[in-house]
Amino acid sequence: MPGTNATAIRTTAAAEGDVTVLLIGMRINHFWAVHHWLPVFLAMPRMLRELAKDPERGLLSHVLLTASPRTYYVVQYWESKEKLYEYAHSPDMFHHRAWAVINRKERKGQVRGHVGLWHEAYVVPEGSYESIYADMPPFGLAAAHGQVPLERRGKRARDRFAYRTRKTAGAAEARTDKRVVAPGNAPDEG
């Protein structure tokens, strides 16, 4: 997060309940085939801008990453798998049109292996994720769900894995209130 100040204490993500994560990316198979891979490369920022304009679609946060000069991907955090699917299949959104072009080219035999596409989607049940951030601005899961001082969820990873949300009627509203980290001292262990 450019321009975001680091938090001077250890924190953990304020995520509650299941977490939906999408990894989506591309691989440039032939650098010289710019006219094939450049439109794919430029499509993701367009989709992310589209989603940023309409937070009700469910994208909470994302991180753009590269694995090599050929491979680029995005880690996306969603409110739910239902919101993710709804966006992917919505005919008024850019993703739907982009995939229609790719599918049309594939049916016509016009896909020549110049660019690879992939995605992996995960719904991670509560109790199957934990996090720690030391001297970091909100990042990853914490950027998506907010962050809280580490001691609220446990100083040790096993304690954070064991954390369970108290099921209340206002749980969704409570999640938005946890995006701010209260000042405090860094815990002794992580």
Of the candidates 64, 20, 27, the residue with the CA atom closest to the CA atom of residue 44 = 64
Q: In what order do the strands lie in the sheet with 133-134?
A: 133-134, 10-13, 147-149
Of the candidates 11, 15, 13, the residue with the CA atom closest to the CA atom of residue 175 = 15
Average pLDDT value over all residues in the chain: 85
Q: Helix, strand, coil proportions of the chain in percent (round to 5)?
A: 35, 25, 40
187, pLDDT greater than 80: no
Burial of 25 (0-12, 13-18, 19+ CB in 10 A): buried
Structure-block tokens of residue 115: 């660019």
> Tell me: the pLDDT tens digits for 43-64?
999 999 999 999 999 999 999 9
pLDDT reported for residue 117: 93
Q: Does residue 73 or residue 107 have the better pLDDT?
A: 73
Burial of 7 (0-12, 13-18, 19+ CB in 10 A): buried
Dihedral of alpha carbons 174, 82, 80, 75, sign: negative
